[in-house]
Amino acid sequence: MKGSQHPQQQRIQMIGSFSETRVSLIPTAKHNKISILQLNCHNRKDTMLSLLNTKQENLVLLIQEPWVYHHNLKPPTHNAWRRITANITIGEDNNKLLTSISINLGEGKKLTLKSLYNAPTTFEAINVLNNTLSNNNPQSSPTIIAMDSNLHSKLWNPRGYNHIHPQAKDHIRICSSKGFNLCSPKGTPTFT
């Protein structure tokens, strides 16, 4: 976000269920932006470990479908990460599809990040997000919604991929009515 202070170089990993987590981070004069990476790991160990072992300047990693250890159902950790396990506190609606984090940037500034995963066989998470947007005022602080919606639209399908979900059009309309804009340029594929 232009003009925002960049907190310390400690990455935050968001995984899991719905919760509202608040994190205070101390700004530094060296950095003046926040870098966010969103990735669907498709439950692949090699993708997850590659992500962990790649030097990145991203402050926040929003991960959908992370690979997890089978014995404890937790993702691998890394000493450079501060993992927020959002499945500790589940929201009142007992929803596990939307994770929210509120970052205190100092000087009364706050940034809200929402990460959504919608299973490809249902549109339940889209309804959850639409209800959340309808019942809350996302414009009270800058908000970024990152999602793996598993919805196909001409706005983000790869060239030549013609399958479109009608729900995508409704979802875009609702997000637009709440002041959200698609960050990627039209036609930029979000999957291959």
Low-confidence ranges of the chain (pLDDT < 70): 1-33, 56, 80-95, 137-139, 191-192
Q: Check residue 95 and give its pLDDT.
A: 64
Return d(Cα 125, Cα 148) in angstroms, integer. 10
pLDDT tens figures, 145-179: 888 888 888 888 888 888 888 888 888 888 888 88
Q: What is the pLDDT of residue 107?
A: 79
- Whole-angstrom distance, CA of residue 89 vs CA of residue 86: 6
**pLDDT of 93:** 53
Name the token pair of 116.
Answer: 């959504």
Specify the pLDDT at position 57: 72
pLDDT of residue 29: 47
> How much is the pLDDT for 42?
84
Sequence-distant (6+) residues with CB within 8 A of 24 are 103, 104, 106
Q: Are 62 and 37 in contact (CB under 8 A)?
A: yes
CA 71 to chain centre: 26
Q: What is the pLDDT of residue 37?
A: 81
**Per-residue model confidence as pLDDT tens digits over 37-54:** 888 888 899 988 888 777
Q: How many CB atoms lie within 10 A of CB 36?
A: 17
Q: Which of 52, 79, 88 is nearest to 68 (CA)?
A: 52
> What pLDDT shows up at residue 48?
86
Give which of 118, 116, 192 is closest to 156, Cα–Cα: 192
